[in-house]
Structure 1
Amino acid sequence: MLAAMPPSPSTRPQAAAPLPRDRGDACPGALRLHPAADGGLARVRLPAGDLTAHQAAALADAAELLGDGHLSLTSRSNAELRGLAEGCGARLAGLLRDAGLLPSAAHERIRNILASPLAGLDRHTPSDVRRWARELDALLCAGEWATALSGRFLFVLDDGRGDVAALGGDVTLLAEAGPGDDGTGPAGGGALLRVGDDPAALRIAGPDAPRAALAAAGAFLAAAGASGSGAWRVRELPAAHALRARDIAEALRSAGLEAAYVAAHGPAYGAEPPAPGARTRPPYADSSAPGIVEGPGGTRSLSVLAPLGRLTVAQWRLLTAIAAEDGAGALRLTPWRGIVLPGLPAAAAPDRLARLAAAGLVTDPASPWHRLGACTGRPGCAKSRTDVRADATAAVAAGTTVPDAAPAGRPPAGLPVYWSGCERRCGHPHGAWVDVLATAEGYRTALVGPDTEPPAAPGTTAPPPAP
């Protein structure tokens, strides 16, 4: 059965103060491999989830030659290779470097930039924040001081539709349309900048957005250093050194950037007052849903999901071939563990989508695999109590997405469902979601609200928030 929803924000208990970090950040990367139960694990950062077809082919080669023949997609639009043999690090680094996926060895773990995956692609597209992502990535890689950021510090760039703004960014930019901006050209409006969970924001000029995000990251490092907490993320700063929009304003002024303070009017960015002269946009496509996305000028994009975020090399090569032969030669990974192929002709899109469905990828938004996720589980993770992926797959075969198939145990429609093998809940969703946790007594299912931590299993203490 599903547990009751947590109390309202006004009655929720306050989260405990963050504990000081007493060790360095061990977040895996492409050069520092993580020893997992199934072999080495490499996490390849892909700012904004962007890949050329050539780069995607290189990842397939790496998975096939050095790994277990699969690729995993993360909730930050990155790619993971698993089952890597001992001593293959130098060869892997060479493959990635030759493909342009390692522009800076010193910065490779901090290139955590999440962006709206459909920006520039759907019919009513807002300003293309993905250009900001490229500029921010270049700025990060050019700053030696930026290597002090942890591998978990996250930049989020939302194109205005609100699809990624609530995904837990440490520094979040939300694009605002400018007067007369029809969404088909470069960013013509401004941006709102927010740090951590502060509901207030700073309004800045669009061209200044990447430099402002970088300045905010610098302000975080200064606050973390002054606090002595060793904090990796904005939310981990102790109260006396908490970072808010007003604090960032001074950092922006020091960088020669202008900013206007915007007090919050609601829990979501959509509730913020628009900039003077800003144009109200029509509804946007759901960027988490698979299917065909209609774009401007008769173009189409294909959006598909990988069941539980895992693809075979054969599936990955099919995606790469379609991108190269029929699309724009590019792939975009999404925070919903999916892939978007831009730039297909309208006539070719249905057939290519059918080919991807036949290959086992999720192409229908009504599929039970849509909004269903799971951690690695056994045998890949020694901390997991069970093979959660096999159990989740069995649940789908039984016609549900949770362990209890009784009608009263079915999750509310539209909420993500996430299976976890232990209290760490690696990769769990943000906001409201259904928590399926493996315990010593079996699975325990509960609803988690947007402002609460998932409950601990009986006899355990609550873990720190997942990165």
Structure 2
Amino acid sequence: MSTALRPSACPGLLRIVQALDGGICRIKLNGGSITADQAGAVADAAERFAGGAIEATNRANLQIRGIGEQSAALIDSLLAAGLGPRTVAGDDVRNLMLSPTAGLDRQMLFDTRALAEQILDTLQSHPRFHELSAKFAVQLDGGEALAMLEHPHDLWLSAFERDGEVLLGFGLAGCPTDRALGAVTLEDAHALVVAVLELFLDLARPEQARMRHLLDELPRLAFLEQLRARVPVKAVSGWQRTSAADDLHIGAHPQNTEGLLYVGAVPPLGRLDPSMLRGAAQLALQFGDGSLRFTPWQSLLLPNVKTSDAAAVLNGLEQLKLLTQAAEPLSRLIACTGSSGCGKGLADTKQDARHLATLLQTGQSVHLSGCSRSCAAAHRAPVTLLAVSPGRYDLYFRDAAQPGFGALHAHNLTIEAVATLLDARSRSPLDA
């Protein structure tokens, strides 16, 4: 790996970024998947060379926090486990999101994994793509029931069926639930990704790091017109991706093979310790296929579990203090690192979230953010608490007509006041 590592504010495997609680190393997982042995290597690295904190991220990756002076040894151990990029410069651009149940989902229209491997190989091996921002991201949706459809991506592709043929609708700077700009055949999908990225790099100025920045000046249809000269694009009308269920990442759910299911569990607030990760990996070896899949809900799945083993797996995960029921309030809360580990955090969001979970009478999806950067959530949550000072938050409700977190409902609330207000609102028929 001889290519120089470029500067960036984003952590990577090879670039440790400092925070209040030490260095952060981000481990990008292809399709969110990791073998049991690799999971063990991550647990060992966090224990030996850092503070032991492992985070599941909202892009189905892992982070190790609290890294001190042994960062080089930590990186070497993860590279030895096969968790690194093919080239140094290729690490930043490995931003391809799949469904956590790719290849297993009963609703999928095609198995996205082979195409994903081809795209990831091109992103890492094509030197020009190393110019892309470390935040530039692509989503490939195979029509699965379990799919994160609310995270905006620079380019998204989403499968649908027309006249007996599976096509991929695509769009720019948005989500698969947006109206598609056009469609391509599965055979042309890889060429489309290459063409979109090359055209973006041709047209964007250096300060236009994301697709949305370019489209602020260039109409989408003008981009599409130039794209058509590079790849065959079909017109799309009357198709819209329907929303997916929001609780299929937790608990036991059937796969597309009779007698097999996957089991999902949520580490409280996305945080694992080494024993949790080792324990989940051991369950995957004993009852699954020896792999784990991380999800954009900051959770993990054990795929290919026999139906007869579901109860044992669920019990094993619960023994590890992982959450396996959507009704548990803590399983629906997300929180950033907060002031305990981040210099920008105005409140201890993780501690406050745990307190909120004990107060809520009903399960509600709530995002606690220590500052306006919203690091813990790439999507707009139904309820957002934005810290204004220790233990106090502004309360926002999602509103399609409002940018950012949504509509501001109340200022400077304590956690107790938030819980009272949310419970009252959940019981009101006006807010059904």
Please classify the TM superposition score into its range, dividing by the shorter chain length: 0.7 to 0.9
* 2:204 equivalent to 1:232: no
Matched residue, 2:74: 92
Task: Give the structure with the higher percent helix.
Answer: 2
| Partner SS for 2:25 | strand
Query: In structure 1, which of residues 300, 303, 324 is the aligned counterpart of residue 261 of structure 2?
Result: 300
Aligned partners of 1:425, 1:142: CA distance in 2, in Å? 32
Matched residue, 1:14: none
Aligned partners of 1:53, 1:419: CA distance in 2, in Å? 31
Query: In structure 2, which of residues 342, 361, 366 is the aligned counterpart of residue 381 of structure 1?
Result: 342
Equivalences for residues 14-25 of structure 1 within 5 A = 25=8
Matched residue, 1:221: 201
Q: Provide the TM-score with structure 1 as the length reference.
A: 0.78
Alpha-carbon offset, residue 399 of structure 1: 3.1
| Partner SS for 1:64 | helix
Aligned partners of 2:7, 2:108: CA distance in 1, in Å? 41
* 2:184 equivalent to 1:204: yes
Matched residue, 2:223: 247
Greater than 6 Å deviation, 4+ residue runs: 455-459
Alpha-carbon offset, residue 122 of structure 1: 3.5
Matched residue, 1:152: 135
* 2:83 equivalent to 1:101: yes
Aligned partners of 1:50, 1:178: CA distance in 2, in Å? 31
Aligned partners of 2:359, 2:77: CA distance in 1, in Å? 42
Alpha-carbon offset, residue 178 of structure 1: 6.8
Contact 1:73-1:79 at 8 Å conserved across structures = yes
Q: Considering Cα pairs closer than 8 Å and 6+ residues apart, tell me whether 1 or 2 has the greater RCO.
A: 1
Matched residue, 1:435: 384
Equivalences for residues 177-196 of structure 1 within 5 A = 177=161, 189-196=166-173
* 2:14 equivalent to 1:37: no
Alpha-carbon offset, residue 249 of structure 1: 5.5
Aligned partners of 1:24, 1:71: CA distance in 2, in Å? 24
Equivalences for residues 342-421 of structure 1 within 5 A = 342-399=303-360, 416-421=365-370
Query: In structure 1, which of residues 47, 51, 55 is the aligned counterpart of residue 34 of structure 2?
Result: 51
* 2:371 equivalent to 1:422: yes
Matched residue, 1:167: 151
Contact 2:249-2:299 at 8 Å conserved across structures = no
List per-residue Cα deviations over 1:223-245 (Å, max 9, x = no partner): 222xx5x1221122263235x26
List per-residue Cα deviations over 1:394-434 (Å, max 9, x = no partner): 1112235xxxxxxxxx8xx76x3100112222122524521
Aligned partners of 1:380, 1:208: CA distance in 2, in Å? 45
Matched residue, 1:279: none
| Partner SS for 1:241 | coil
Contact 2:57-2:63 at 8 Å conserved across structures = yes
* 2:395 equivalent to 1:445: yes
Query: How many residue pairs are counted as aligned between the two chains?
Result: 397
Letter in 2 for 1:322: L
* 2:96 equivalent to 1:119: no
Letter in 2 for 1:433: P
Alpha-carbon offset, residue 72 of structure 1: 0.1
Aligned partners of 2:321, 2:155: CA distance in 1, in Å? 36
Contact 1:33-1:42 at 8 Å conserved across structures = yes
* 2:5 equivalent to 1:28: no
Matched residue, 2:405: 454
| Partner SS for 2:63 | strand
Alpha-carbon offset, residue 449 of structure 1: 2.2
| Partner SS for 1:240 | coil
Contact 1:165-1:172 at 8 Å conserved across structures = no
Contact 1:420-1:426 at 8 Å conserved across structures = yes
Letter in 2 for 1:291: G
Aligned partners of 1:66, 1:337: CA distance in 2, in Å? 23
| Partner SS for 2:276 | helix
Contact 1:119-1:126 at 8 Å conserved across structures = no
| Partner SS for 2:360 | coil
Letter in 1 for 2:234: A
Contact 1:216-1:248 at 8 Å conserved across structures = no
Aligned partners of 1:252, 1:100: CA distance in 2, in Å? 38
Contact 1:216-1:252 at 8 Å conserved across structures = no
Q: 5+ unaligned residues in a row in structure 1: which ranges?
A: 1-22, 181-187, 272-283, 401-409, 460-467
Q: Provide the TM-score with structure 2 as the length reference.
A: 0.84
Letter in 2 for 1:98: A
Aligned partners of 1:431, 1:320: CA distance in 2, in Å? 31
RMSD of aligned alpha carbons: 2.7
Aligned partners of 1:293, 1:203: CA distance in 2, in Å? 31
| Partner SS for 2:65 | strand
Aligned partners of 1:371, 1:134: CA distance in 2, in Å? 31
* 2:160 equivalent to 1:176: yes
Equivalences for residues 306-321 of structure 1 within 5 A = 306-321=267-282
| Partner SS for 1:260 | coil
Equivalences for residues 73-92 of structure 1 within 5 A = 73-86=56-69, 88-92=70-74
> CA 1:287/1:143 → structure 2, altered by over 3 Å: closer, same or farther?
farther
Alpha-carbon offset, residue 24 of structure 1: 6.5
Letter in 2 for 1:344: V
Contact 1:157-1:164 at 8 Å conserved across structures = no
> CA 1:286/1:426 → structure 2, altered by over 3 Å: closer, same or farther?
closer
Aligned partners of 1:122, 1:421: CA distance in 2, in Å? 35
Aligned partners of 1:348, 1:393: CA distance in 2, in Å? 31
Query: In structure 2, which of residues 242, 265, 284 is the aligned counterpart of residue 270 of structure 1?
Result: 242
> CA 1:212/1:345 → structure 2, altered by over 3 Å: closer, same or farther?
same
| Partner SS for 2:217 | helix
Alpha-carbon offset, residue 331 of structure 1: 1.2
Alpha-carbon offset, residue 161 of structure 1: 4.1
